[in-house]
Amino acid sequence: MPLLLLKDLPRYECLLEAAREFPDLDPSAAEAFLHLLRASDEAYGINARNMAAHGISAGRFSVLMLLWRGDQVRSKAPAGTMQCDCGPRTPASLADACGVTRATMTGLIDTLERDGFVKREPDPADRRMMSVHLTPKAEAFLRDYMPGHFKIISSIMSALTEPERKTLVRLLVKVQQQAATLAGTPQAVPN
Amino acid sequence: MPLLLLKDLPRYECLLEAAREFPDLDPSAAEAFLHLLRASDEAYGINARNMAAHGISAGRFSVLMLLWRGDQVRSKAPAGTMQCDCGPRTPASLADACGVTRATMTGLIDTLERDGFVKREPDPADRRMMSVHLTPKAEAFLRDYMPGHFKIISSIMSALTEPERKTLVRLLVKVQQQAATLAGTPQAVPN
DNA sequence: AGCTTATAGTTAGGTAGCTAACTAGTATTG
DNA sequence: CAATACTAGTTAGCTACCTAACTATAAGCT
């Protein structure tokens, strides 16, 4: 939960007033921006508290999901068709998929390994590399955890009807793409 | 920038497929949720990088804004009408307004004071209390920083038309209120 | 008054991010 | 084939958040 946010957002009239002093302030843009961050923060917080109650964090959850997805793809693939890459396994590729640095991933894997969720194994081919694997404990945890996780997300989004969700996604994609462009990292079009 | 997010969001078909395994997974809810966090994260990131380039963080910015707003209210108030509270001044009230703990606020004020943006002064009436004040350096900084800040926000939100912004805000308010209800802290209706 | 309770601020110790720098191993190349 | 450059992972040190515990002060209650 990254609180850059004031607990009470400024009211729209205050934005209008402030815009008199700062011509660069676009009240409707600022309003939308603040509400975006506020809503996201609130939704994120619900989830983060649930994760914390189960002893994991967002970063740890991401790693577990990536490894799990890879395992599932692997177990479903027909025998003999395994030369595809089945999701990230090394710290560097996990870091890349999670959007964190390798250093951060080292820390995440450290605590995940300490808590018995993953195991590091050296790569026989390249002695610089490690391979990270889920333990049975982690698989059991995920199988137990995910239903509640999905219930929470559904419950947050129950505020919106199906068409409202589509509209929201459409608007959010626009904002995200514009932001990605500004960040100088034009992402592939999502969905 | 709180990266709980995978860099590539799962495509909608993957959500549909996963929903077969997990009946609690509502694909459109998950899609909206992920896009909300992703868009917010991207927008937040633009801003955070700009702040970092100016040597401040989101938390520090919040504190500066709160103190500044208080100062402005104070300087505009007609003489003799100053018994109102003019915004938070003590670490505890700043912490409350920012939505962080007092301990966190101590840390923020520590570094702000170290960098010459604020000064702590003991309260003469209650010797437990401190009063935090902006320095002229901070005021100069804010006057210089804010126009660029507003420009960035406008530029992110330039992806949306005026009516789209209103729609986005309306949907986000619904989500935020629902989340706040789930968090057990039903907030006052914003705006 | 004197004990208890509450409050303001800080401190200590934890997690999760970051950057920068280091080690060890692999690749490239003159 | 030796010097160089790159890569994988880790380490160290930073910020910002958290909770829990501590100190000092103030307030409330017999």
pLDDT in tens, B2-35: 445 566 677 777 778 788 888 999 999 999 999 9
The nearest alpha carbon in chain A to B105 belongs to A3
Q: Protein B45 CA to nucleic acid C22 C1', in Å?
A: 29
Dist CA B107 CA A47 (whole Å)? 26
Give the mean pLDDT of B39-59: 86
Length of chain A: 191
% of chain A with per-residue pLDDT over 90 = 37
Determine whether B165 is exposed, middle or buried from the number of CB atoms within 10 Å of its CB (0-12, 13-18, 19+): buried
Contact partners, residue A52, CB within 8 Å, separation at least 6 = none
**Is the pLDDT confidence value at A23 over 80?**
yes
Beta-bridge mates of residue B133 = B119
| Residue among B24, B150, B179 whose CB faces A46 most closely | B179
Q: In the structure, what pLDDT confidence band is assigned to residue A81 with cuts at 50, 70 and 90?
A: very low
pLDDT at A41 over 90: no
Number of H helices, E strands in chain B: 7, 2
How far is residue A34's CA from residue A55's CA, in Å, rounded to a whole number?
30
Mean pLDDT of chain A: 83
Angle at which helix B91-98 crosses helix B58-76, to 10 degrees, equals: 110
Mean pLDDT across B119-141: 91
Do B43 and A155 count as a contact with CB atoms less than 8 A apart?
Answer: no
Binned at pLDDT 50, 70 and 90, residue A6 comes out as low
Q: Is the pLDDT higher at A13 or at B26?
A: B26
**Which of A4, A36, A96 is opposite residue B39, by nearest beta carbon?**
A36
Lowest mean per-residue pLDDT among A138-142, B32-36, B49-53: B49-53
Q: Which helix (H) or strand (E) covers residue B182, if one does?
A: helix B162-182
CB contact under 8 A, B176 and A28: no
d(CA A25, CA A33): 12
Burial of A125 (0-12, 13-18, 19+ CB in 10 A): exposed
Per-residue pLDDT at A107 exceeds 60:
yes
Among the partner residues B24, B44, B99, nearest to A150 by beta-carbon distance: B24
Measure in Å the smallest separation between the Cα of B127 and chain A Cα atoms.
28
B174:A183 CB<8 A = no
B190/A9 Cβ within 8 A: yes
Question: Which residue's structure tokens are 């509270």?
Answer: B85
Q: Across the interface, do A35 and B166 touch by the CB < 8 Å criterion?
A: no
- Contact assignment for A40 to B35 by CB distance below 8 Å: no
pLDDT at B169 over 50: yes
Could you tell me which of B148, B163, B109 has the C-alpha nearest to residue B131?
B109
Which pLDDT does position B71 carry in this prediction?
75
CA count, 13 A, side-chain hemisphere, B39: 34
Residues 115-154 of B with CB under 7 A from strand C: 120, 126, 128-130
**Residues A99 and B7: beta-carbon distance below 8 Å:** yes
pLDDT at position B2, please? 42
Q: Is the CB of A170 under 7 A from strand D?
A: no
Domains defined for chain B, CATH in brackets:
12-54+148-182 (no CATH), 58-145 (1.10.10.10)
| Residue in chain A nearest B66 by alpha carbon | A6
Find the Å distance, CA of residue B128 to C1' of nucleotide C6.
Answer: 13
CA-closest candidate to residue B66, choices B115, B99, B44: B99
Span CA (B130) to C1' (C17), Å: 31
- CB neighbourhood size of B189 (10 A): 7
More confident residue, B2 or A107: A107
| Closest nucleotide C1' to the C-alpha of A104 | C17
8 A C-beta contact, residue A27 and residue A12: yes
- Shortest CA distance to A171 belongs to which of B167, B2, B69, B145? B167
Q: Are B66 and A6 in contact (CB under 8 A)?
A: yes
Confidence of residue B185 (pLDDT cuts 50, 70, 90): very low
Q: How far is the CA of B71 from the C1' of D10 (A)?
A: 48
- Give yes or no for residue A2 having a pLDDT over 90: no
Q: What is the pLDDT of residue B189?
A: 40
CA angle A5, A8, A11 (to 5 degrees): 110
Q: In this predicted model, what pLDDT tens digit does every residue of B80-97 receive, in sequence order? A: 444 445 667 899 999 998
Distance of residue A130 Cα from the nearest chain B Cα, in angstroms: 21
Residue with more model confidence, A58 or A7 = A58
Look at residue A131 and give its three-state secondary structure.
strand
Complex ipTM = 0.85
Residue in A89, A96, A97 with CA at minimum distance from that of residue A131? A89
Query: What per-residue confidence (pLDDT) applies to A167?
Result: 97
Question: Among candidates A2, A129, A163, A134, which has minimal Cα distance to A69?
Answer: A134
Q: Is the pLDDT of residue A154 over 80?
A: yes
